[in-house]
Amino acid sequence: MSKIKVMSDDLANKIAAGEVVEKCSSIVKELVENSIDAKASEITVELENGGLKSIRVIDNGEGMDEEDAHLAFFRHATSKLLHDEDLFFINTMGFRGEALPSIASVAEVTLKTSNGKTSSFIHIKGGKILEDKKCDLRKGTIIEVTNLFYNTPARLKYLKSEATENYNCLNLLEKLALAYPHIKFSLLNNARMLLKTSGSGNLLKAIHEIYGLNVSNKMLEFQASNDDFDIYGYICKPEVLRSNRNDINTFVNDRIVRNIDINRAINDAYYTYKPEGKYPMVVLKINADPTLIDVNIHPTKQDIKISKMEVLYDLIYKTLKDTLYNNLLIPNALKEESVNIIKNDVIADIVSSMASKEDNKSDQLAMDFKIEKDDTLTTTTIKEDGVVNKELKSLVLYPVGLALGTYIIAENDEGIYLIDQHAAQERINYEKYMKALKNKKFGTTSLLIPITIELSTSDFLLIKEKLDLLKSIGIALEEFGVNTFTLKEHPTWFLEGHEEESIRKIIDLIISGIANFDVAKFHESIAITLACKMSIKANMHISREAQEELLNELVLCDNPYNCPHGRPTIIKFSIYDLERMFKRVMN
């Protein structure tokens, strides 16, 4: 007797549900994407207990006729793929025909839909139809999901607390609102409004409605194209950074994606503009021919494969890098307000609930929940005009003192400036070293007494392969006994007395990056490492003449606003700011 049996449709749907439905937000995602595909201009999501009790999605889309309403619950029934070749031209959010039957197999679902001419009301539980009748002719669809995982207790126990499920749904709707700024999105939990967007079609306004004015006011617009890709969106100024990647919002053909190569291009563009471990706030929309995109590699369709990824990487990297370079300004001290705004008592309740149930996540929730009530702000109110990167270069600064042995105090007719002497000299040294390494124009110094460098066998063999590279930047190493080199010559810009430390740092850079070694990044790493080492430290008192020389050199830098680690070099207190602080002005 054969051991292989064809599984029942019910079992197959439950297995598929395990891939498609992981949590409440998974259901919200599938249902809202169906509404988007139905050309809805207004979508409302109503949750009870964060979706644990019920999830209700209401749209004003095209709706379905009676036949389609029944077919929608059959596995692999779809209106979006009819032929094999259609798989290479996917322009819709859904296409597999798995979502509704999968959800219906592990929950109780009611569907009310109409195309304006015919209508259907279907009540289904565990894949079995309990009720089937006609309803009113309101055009659009209302679908409600309750009793999630009632028949699969192993899945039920993996659902999180109400606060966590609620947060996941809110986070998803925020991203969808950025992907589709022309659609009105609303999210309610227990009848309390958490998110409401205007559907104006203005991406910057959508950013404002989600993140608030303090963030939208610090976003920089970009747009670029090549033969294969169009990119458009907004990136934050370096003073607006997060401790996680959650606000790197990337969309390919309006689909939410999480792609490691796209994220790498964004982070590389911010290199030297942000500290390690901090991440920018980005809304990046990528449009491409569907034949260049494979969205059928992951059950959630959030990870994709992109043909010509190198071309896309170069476009993103160069565009974002140029946008930052052309728009950087000196941050105003009194406008450095937190982007993590909690203005709504609903959010406060959620964070409080999370604190009692999952203390380790409460701080992160407090950082990630954002609501801004004012939805009437126009683009012209919050958008800053792009400014050529010459603000600091046009300033004439007069140093008047040194605070805490670290911050140079300077002034001019516009106000007072604080300059971090270490960060400023780091930028000066970094650009000097980068220019020397790029042009290979630097002097070398021969050592009267060579420095001995002893390594492990594996490290010795790795460095032995890179001797020519080291020679190209003025470092002459020669083999000397077992697993040992001697340093005979080094560049003149090595700090006197720190030659051995400098060469060992460069050797460490080579060893740590040997798997994907890149000469340009190697040069940049050398410049950053040595610039830090050779710069004035905090708590080092320098003379007035040294302060003037430092400011004069900073003005000549290509990017005088950040050290190579991304920290600001200079902060401004305008005359108005000072007078407001001392109550000379009251508005």
Summarize pLDDT for 13-49 with one digit per residue, the tens.
Answer: 555 544 567 789 989 999 999 999 999 999 999 999 9
Task: Tally the C-alpha atoms within 13 A of residue 437's C-alpha that lie toward its C-beta.
Answer: 24
9-159 against 203-335: fold identical? no
Mean pLDDT for the chain?
Answer: 80
What percentage of the chain exceeds 90 in pLDDT? 32
Which range is least confidently modeled, 176-180, 261-265, 334-338?
334-338
In this structure, the number of other CB atoms found within 10 A of the CB of residue 379 comes to 14
Task: Tally the C-alpha atoms within 13 A of residue 161's C-alpha that lie toward its C-beta.
Answer: 15
Two tokens at 533? 């080492």
Two tokens at 9? 């449709």
pLDDT digits (tens, 9 = 90+) for 220-233: 999 999 999 999 99
Residue partners of 496: CB distance under 8 A and separation at least 6: none
DSSP 65-110: -HHHHHHTTSTT--SS--SGGGGGS--SS--SS-HHHHHHHSSEEE
pLDDT digits (tens, 9 = 90+) for 244-273: 888 999 999 999 998 889 999 999 898 888
Q: How far apart are CA 218 and CA 235, in angstroms?
A: 8
Residue 372 has pLDDT above 60, yes or no: no
* Cα four-point dihedral sign 431, 432, 433, 438: positive
**Three-class secondary structure of residue 6 per DSSP:** coil
Asked if the 9-159 domain carries CATH number 3.40.50.2300, the reply is no
Q: How far apart are CA 295 and CA 131, in angstroms?
A: 35
In this structure, the number of other CB atoms found within 10 A of the CB of residue 209 comes to 28
What percentage of the chain exceeds 70 in pLDDT? 78
Which range is least confidently modeled, 178-182, 302-306, 420-424?
302-306
* Buried-state track 75-90, b at ≥16 Cβ within 10 A, e below 16: beebeebeeeeeeeeb
- Give the distance, in angstroms, between the CA of residue 431 and the centroid of all CA atoms in the same chain: 27
CB 328 within 8 A of CB 389: yes
Q: Is 254 exposed, middle or buried (0-12, 13-18, 19+ CB in 10 A)?
A: middle
pLDDT digits (tens, 9 = 90+) for 541-573: 888 898 999 988 888 888 888 888 888 888 888
- Give the distance, in angstroms, between the CA of residue 266 and the centroid of all CA atoms in the same chain: 8
Which range is least confidently modeled, 175-179, 306-310, 539-543?
539-543
Higher pLDDT, residue 374 or 265: 265
Task: Tally the C-alpha atoms within 13 A of residue 23's C-alpha that lie toward its C-beta.
Answer: 16
**CATH architecture, domain 203-335:** 2-Layer Sandwich (3.30)
Model-level pTM greater than 0.85? no
Q: How far apart are CA 300 and CA 88, in angstroms?
A: 18
Residue 498 has pLDDT above 50, yes or no: yes
Provide the pLDDT for residue 290.
Answer: 84
pLDDT classification of 1: cutoffs 50, 70, 90? low
- The domain locations on the chain are 9-159, 203-335, 398-555
pLDDT classification of 78: cutoffs 50, 70, 90? low
Strand partners, 294: 305
Q: Which stretches within 238-358 are classed as H helix?
A: 260-269, 309-327, 345-357
Q: How far apart are CA 399 and CA 416, in angstroms?
A: 10
| Region for residue 97 given its phi and psi (left: phi exceeds 0; alpha: psi -120 to 50; beta: otherwise) | left
Q: Which of 406, 376, 393 shows the shortest CA–CA distance to 542?
A: 406
Provide the pLDDT for residue 84.
Answer: 46
* Buried-state track 497-507, b at ≥16 Cβ within 10 A, e below 16: eebeebbebbb
Provide the pLDDT for residue 28.
Answer: 94
Average pLDDT over residues 85-106: 63
Give me the CATH topology for the region 398-555.
Answer: Ribosomal Protein S8; Chain: A, domain 1 (3.30.1370)
Higher pLDDT, residue 95 or 269: 269
